Structure 1
């Protein structure tokens, strides 16, 4: 399942992080290959300002929606299908379903669940700029109970840490939600947020499959979450990724 946890510039899949893997050919399915025969971003060829994975949603949605003319009829949109193409090409996995929730919807979901407990390991700013001016408040090390607003900020804060640190915080938040809440309750609250209509909440998971996934999630609560980090420390060069190596990492993790 492909998961868009908060915003389009951070891209996650269950069990792995794919943020900023790009700047060379990104393999995909037929639709993207037809427009980018050498791969998306090859030779810095793209129609947006950053030819990287986190640009594909915008690229396809705004510049090349004709790649996926049936997306709306399939309860999706061209940007999502472009991301699904790229994620499938990079990982070698078949991505059957997606869930998209915007930042406000994600914040509302956490609020509806009563907040989430997070153990903060390093001091992280809320707000401010790159020079850490005008920081509204700080997340101090230690165990904290966060509402949706603060949990989203903690996961998304950009300044004073690296993108890889931010990826780790997002994973910590996802795992905390998985461990602390009953999946059936999460599903009920998720549907409530979706029906409120003030946020972007979309999925192509069939209604009849929701109970199955809630049951599956319940079984995983007592298990550890495996991750495959596509980062330099794991041998992945974000500027020149070796996709065969990436697929090998993922295949090994799944065996």
Structure 2
């Protein structure tokens, strides 16, 4: 929805600084019967930069994981594009940020549960890579990458309330 609705119906919501996020908020509100007032978005380029700042991650790749690839969007839409490459299987593979991102999100020809498992594996590998020595020596690169990782429409004055309510 984030990508498809703004492409197919540009300007459908009127003035907005993040049409994709606002479409998702409206869809989630309608689907769940809840008011969704704000969003928090993770920038995947920031993810890639953080992994690079940490010096990469090491994971076991149990099957070929696609890099890229898109399914067609239906009748009259673009034809499917196969992946441009694959991350090949193998134990203890050290991945840079680009490959770690595709390891975590590659989906062409794979199931959602397999992607979710790889995402958990990626998070575990990042946490394992973020040892005290790495955090001290790579602090500036990690901080620079982190600045561009999140985007939100939560007003700054409300952030303390979100943080406080999460601790309960």
- Is the pair's TM-score, using the shorter chain for normalization, greater than 0.5? yes
Instruction: Give the counterpart of 2:4 among 35, 53, 58.
Output: 58
Encode CA deviations 1:46-93: one digit per residue, 9 max, x unaligned.
xxxxxxxxx343313651534252x32xxxx11111112223443447
Q: 1:188 to 1:138 in 2, by over 3 A?
A: same
Equivalent residues of 1:125, 1:160 under 8 A apart: no
Which SS does the other structure have where 2:94 is aligned? strand
Q: TM-score, normalised by structure 2?
A: 0.57
Equivalent residues of 1:115, 1:145 under 8 A apart: yes
Encode CA deviations 1:203-244: one digit per residue, 9 max, x unaligned.
33556749x86xx7xx9xxxxxxxxxxxxxxxxxxxxxxxxx
Equivalent residues of 2:48, 2:100 under 8 A apart: yes
Q: How many residues align?
A: 146
Encode CA deviations 1:19-67: one digit per residue, 9 max, x unaligned.
xxxxxxxxxxxxxxxxxxxxxxxxxxxxxxxxxxxx3433136515342
Equivalent residues of 1:110, 1:147 under 8 A apart: yes
Equivalent residues of 1:57, 1:80 under 8 A apart: no
Quote how far apart the aligned CAs of 1:113 are. 2.5
Equivalent residues of 2:47, 2:97 under 8 A apart: yes
Instruction: Give the counterpart of 1:112 among 53, 70, 73.
Output: 53
Structure 1, gaps ≥5 residues long: 1-54, 220-255
- C-alpha RMSD of the superposition: 4.4
Structure 2, gaps ≥5 residues long: 70-79
Equivalent residues of 1:61, 1:78 under 8 A apart: no
Q: TM-score, normalised by structure 1?
A: 0.41
Instruction: Give the counterpart of 2:43 among 92, 101, 113.
Output: 101
Which SS does the other structure have where 2:110 is aligned? coil
Instruction: Give the counterpart of 2:121 among 157, 172, 186.
Output: 172
Q: 1:201 to 1:189 in 2, by over 3 A?
A: farther
Instruction: Give the counterpart of 1:83 among 24, 37, 48.
Output: 24
Task: Give the structure, 1 or 2, with the largest relative contact order (CA under 8 Å, sep 6 or more).
Answer: 2
Equivalent residues of 1:124, 1:154 under 8 A apart: no
Counterparts of 1:1-255 in structure 2, within 5 Å, are 55-60=1-6, 63-69=9-15, 71-72=16-17, 77-91=18-32, 92=34, 94=36, 96-102=38-44, 104-120=45-61, 122-127=62-67, 137-140=87-90, 142-159=91-108, 161-177=110-126, 181=130, 192-193=144-145, 202-205=151-154, 209=159
